[in-house]
Structure 1
Amino acid sequence: MTGFRQFELGIFGENDPKLKVIRYALAKQLRRAIDEDADWLITGGQSGIEQWAIQEALSLREDNPQFQTALMTPFADFGAQWKPERQTQLADLKTKVDFSAAVSQLPYQNPSQLKNYQQFMLDHTEEAYIFFDEQADQSPVRYAWQAAKRYQEGHSYEVHQIDFDRLQEYAEEYGEKLSEAGHYD
């Protein structure tokens, strides 16, 4: 599971209403995968969709103890340039997942490490859930999207896209559920 970074979505706090919708969407996608017998979430450590997906997967553990999480990073010093609070958040997630490792044991050296990471993720997963919209063609997520679509051409590999229209549907669904429950947050 991968997708937009936190800043690309304009989400800068835990109380942002957009984040509530995204967490709802992530939980729905993860429950669907679990219902279809998925036993692992394998994702990266980017802030945004990847870290939120891990958090949602961890929250589903109580009802789904067989479902495990792996946090894979492209290189050894991934996140070292981030603000201290983001580094702490990544380090904390690494302690909570079932497995965490860097695909390259070297610190960042060149873009080939990112390509190798992308290939590793495709080779070690059975399907991809990508929060991406083609309107956001400047997003680095487009590389993961394009790689998954190319990989799909030669492999039995399903690619699930959650685009802006689908997120809007989730927002409406989330709003209806809140309304039915009498909550308005």
Structure 2
Amino acid sequence: MSRLWVTGYRSYEIGTFGNEDPKIEILKYALEQELRVLIEQGVDWILTGGQMGTEQWTIEVAYNLKNDYPDLKIALLYPFKGFGDQWQQSSKDKLRLTKKLVDFSDTVSKLPYKNPQQLKNYQIFMLSHTDLALLLYDTEFKGKVYYDYQAILAKQGKSPYPSYLVDMDKLQDYAIAYNEILHDTTQFFE
């Protein structure tokens, strides 16, 4: 059994706006290609959070991959109780719908948000309950995922913990490949 933690940029950090932004299809395509490789290498659980952007897209992609990999399981883990309660209604609705796609969901902290230590505890939990990580992250373009990346690097300094980055160059390659499929050579990530 191999458990994968997937995280990355929030939707606003990578410049996607709304659910119909054409960049989202490229991002989902990239996640799908990366997940397929890792599933073929033995990943059977995908663990992620509920952040808008990479984490919710991962759940959608992984759910669709169950057609090809019926034994694949998806876990949605919130860092604290009431996660997303402060969001706009449309975002709350999307999170609620996303939750319906997973095999397991829970919160790491049973308390509502009190302080940043809950987010550190979430990182510790994810690192101790997974075997490797996939991040939609480029070290030249910091976002909130930077802190998860730093936690992963700290863990790698103590024990083996493979991690894979999908950076802007890789995204551009995926955009080209995706657009070749559609016979369109527009570049979305420059």
Q: Same fold (TM over 0.5)?
A: yes
- CA–CA separation in structure 1 for the residues paired with 2:34 and 2:47: 14
Number of the residue aligned with 1:24: 29
Does structure 1 residue 83 correspond to structure 2 residue 88?
Answer: yes
Determine what percentage of the aligned residue pairs are the same residue.
Answer: 45
In the alignment, the residues of structure 1 paired with residue 48 and residue 14 of structure 2 have an alpha-carbon distance, to the nearest angstrom, of 18
2:174 & 2:18 partners in 1: Cα distance? 20
Letter of the structure 2 residue corresponding to residue 65 of structure 1: P
Instruction: Check whether the contact 2:59–2:101 (CA below 8 A) recurs between aligned residues.
Output: no
Q: State whether structure 2 residue 180 is matched by structure 1 residue 176.
A: yes
Q: 2:112 aligns to what SS in structure 1?
A: coil
Which structure carries more helix by proportion? 1
Unaligned runs of 5+ in 2: 1-5, 185-190
What's 2:187 paired with?
none
Q: Offset of 1:4 from its aligned partner? A: 0.4
SS in 2 for 1:11: coil
Q: Distance in 2 between matches of 1:101 and 1:155?
A: 27
Q: Structure 1: how far apart are the matches of 2:134 and 2:161? A: 11
Q: How does 1:60-139 map to 2 (within 5 A)?
A: 60-137=65-142, 139=143
How far residue 179 of structure 1 moved from its aligned partner, in angstroms, is 2.2
Alignment RMSD: 1.2
Q: Which amino acid aligns with 1:100?
A: S
2:42 equivalent to 1:12: no
Q: Which residue of 2 aligns with 1:163?
A: 167
Aligned to 1:183: none
Number of residue pairs matched by the alignment = 179
* Secondary structure at the counterpart of residue 148 of structure 2: helix
SS of equivalent to 2:110: coil
Q: What does the per-residue CA deviation read over 1:40-80, in whole Å, with 9 as the maximum and x for residues that have no partner?
A: 10000000000000000001112211001000010001101
Residue 96 of structure 1 and its aligned partner are, at CA, apart by 2.1
Measured after TM superposition, the shift of residue 145 of structure 1 is 0.7
More strand by share: 2
Q: Match of 1:64, SS?
A: coil
Comparing 60-69 with 42-51, which one deviates more in the overlay?
60-69
Q: 5+ unaligned residues in a row in structure 1: which ranges?
A: 181-185
- SS at 2:141 equivalent: coil
* Aligned partner letter, 1:39: D
